[in-house]
Chain A
Amino acid sequence: MRIEFEKVTHSYESSNPMSGLGLANVSCTIESGQFTAIVGKTGSGKSTLVKHINALLKPTSGTITVGDHQITPETDNKNLKPLRKKVGMVFQFPESQLFEDTVEKDIMFGPKNFGFTEEQAKEAASKMIEVVGLGPDYLTKSPFDLSGGQMRRVAIAGVLASDPETIILDEPTAGLDPVGRKEIMDLFKAQQSRGKTIILITHNMDDVANYADKLMVMHDSHLVGQGTPKQVFNDQELLNKNYISLPQSAVFAQKLAAKGFTFDQLPITISELTAEIKQQIHGD
């Protein structure tokens, strides 16, 4: 689904001067079927931004268009179900979306809520628990008797189980072990190749470089940059202002550049980096 933000501003509790602006006049388009990453410092407005896509937050001013749904300051909480069926969201803290007394019921909740039969929901749960790297043994456990990373996996399973068209992931790999992180990122990429739109908030710039088609940079509630990861990581202004951090390959290339190597553009993945190094040393 195509998503469009038009001059969206969000102020938290406008009556309370201590709470600042969450979003300031953000306009952007996320194309259907794209893998978009959102980065930015702590408190820059990333979570606030994505919560507008499934109307968990309403804009103070501006409009969000998600497929054929429109969200405006006047949007009320009635009739949001069709939108939420299409837009699934894994929250930044997984515990905030777990509430049933077994893992199975928890994963089944979304599918049932969006019209799956009991049987279909059960089937989705046993499939998804495997997909996120936990065995069927986990289905009967309480979601609160799990380790942090296991909870995270259950939360992801729960969102994927109802097969939403657009998948929003708010730091979904925080707390996953490195092997798990890669498996889960590959899983999201596979969802994209099935036609899903993926929106990922992350602090891992290597994941951005390896998986995303497009990158958006938030700073102080403003959208300050967007483009392909390659473009954004080579944007001198964003770098000088210290709005972004670089992937490891780019940092390494900068260090080589200080010692006589030359790079027209900073490589952002290991394969780009090693290809450049080989070319320079072989001199072809």
Chain B
Amino acid sequence: MLVTSLTKSISEISGNRDTNLSNDFFLPKGEQMENIISIKDVFYKYPGSDNYAVNGISLDIKANEWISIVGKNGSGKTTLTRLIDGLEECESGTIEIDGVVTDEETIWDARKKIGIVFQNPDHQFVGATVEDDVAFGLENQGMPREQMINAVDNALKMVDMQDFKKRDPQSLSGGQKQRVAIAGVLAIKPQIIIMDESTSMLDPEGRKTVINLIEQLRSEQNLTVISITHDIEETQLSDRIIVLNSGKIVKDTDPADLYNLGPQLTEFGLEEPFTNLVAAGLTDLIDFKGYITEEGLIDKLCELNLKR
């Protein structure tokens, strides 16, 4: 859906989503879309800190969903994903991954289902060469060597980094590091991929290519995608947006609904979509309130242009 939606309007996307939900409703029990992640009343504060970085969060994420997590710097986005992956332990509350509540014992199985691309790719690298690095996760899975060589090549090809196999990851450019970090996670074919601002240093076209790639894998491999991002264009394409503020969920909705908030978005550190800003500069021509899609705005302007 996301691939084609680059040229589709948001209303179509959310339309599709509603259809999914209602189909789901009529399915017999047991075949309903399952929650791959279920978070209940989770609290967490860093050692020595007075404030809760995650301050009472409950959240269900369905298998195959694409959700964006947005919010101000320091609002708790990264911390939440570290809790999901068991890198930090909740002070209270529970996290269920694929039907199993995670604890010291179950977290190892849960973690095999999750691939995280960290905010800083340098934290991801363990190998001395790019190919070793991508192979690392596969070795852990016990993949036979022959198969591994292929899998590494494939993953590097997906992000267009096959020519850099023998390089030390530390010597790559910023965007190249981000691509290799993504390859390392894609190679292990996780059920859930968490991307923590993993395209923030890619050029605009590279960013679109990666987003399209993830979307393609989502439909082919039933991947669930959790993307932390400050990129408004990417959020406009997702099924659902979660807004965090001071460790709490303050909005859980679809893009059109969120962007209807208009100037109030700045309270959450967000900006208005481009089309809203253009329309706001044309108030003497068009009368509108809230969110307007690109197609909607172009149609309105063309109508006026023909009338003149």
Contact = CB atoms under 8 A, between A and B. Distances in A.
Specify whether A and B are partners: yes
Interface of A: 12, 18-19, 39-43, 47, 92-93, 95-96, 145-150, 152-153, 170-171, 174-182, 203, 205, 242, 245, 248-249, 252, 255-256, 259-261, 270-271, 273-274, 277-278, 280-283
Contacts of A42: 173-176, 179, 201-203, 206
Interface residues on B, range: 35 or more
Nearest to A274: B281
A260 B305 contact: yes
A275 B55 CA distance: 46
9 contacts: A12-B171, A41-B206, A149-B73, A150-B74, A177-B269, A271-B281, A278-B285, A281-B304, A281-B308
Contacts of B271: 178-179, 182
Interface of B: 46, 49, 71-74, 77-78, 119-120, 122, 166-167, 171-176, 179, 197, 200-207, 230, 232, 266, 269-271, 274, 277-278, 281-282, 284-285, 294, 298, 301-302, 304-306, 308
Contacts of A280: 305, 308
Contacts of B232: 178
Contacts of B204: 203, 205, 245
Contacts of A182: 271
A95 B73 CA distance: 16
B305 A261 contact: yes
B285 A281 contact: yes
Nearest to B46: A145
Nearest to B233: A248
B278 A252 contact: yes
A239 to B, nearest CB: 12
A41 B203 CA distance: 5
Nearest to B283: A274
B197 A203 contact: no
Contact of B270 (A179, A252, A283): A179
Nearest to A178: B271
Contacts of A260: 302, 305-306
Given A93-B120, A180-B269, A40 B203 contact: yes
Nearest to B196: A148
A278 B279 CA distance: 11
B246 to A, nearest CB: 12
Contacts of A95: 120, 122
Contact of A177 (B176, B205, B230): B230
Given A47-B174, A255-B298, A277-B285, A181 B230 contact: yes
A106 B203 CA distance: 31
Contacts of B301: 256, 261, 277, 281
B73 A176 contact: yes
Contacts of A41: 175, 203, 205-206
A181 B179 CA distance: 23
A148 B305 contact: no
B281 A270 contact: yes
A99 to B, nearest CB: 14
Contacts of B305: 260-261, 280-281
Contacts of A259: 298, 302
Most chain A CB atoms below 10 A, which of B73, B200, B204, B282: B73
Contacts of A178: 230, 232, 269-271
Most chain B CB atoms below 10 A, which of A148, A205, A259: A148
B72 to A, nearest CB: 5
A3 B166 CA distance: 36
B230 A176 contact: yes
B73 A153 contact: yes
B205 A245 contact: yes
A271 B277 CA distance: 10
Given A245-B205, A259-B298, A270-B278, A179 B269 contact: yes
Contacts of B284: 278
B146 to A, nearest CB: 24
Contacts of A40: 203
Contacts of B77: 147
Given A12-B171, A175-B200, 20 more contacts: A19-B171, A40-B203, A42-B173, A42-B174, A42-B203, A93-B174, A95-B122, A147-B74, A147-B78, A148-B73, A148-B78, A149-B74, A150-B74, A174-B201, A176-B230, A178-B232, A178-B269, A180-B269, A273-B281, A278-B285
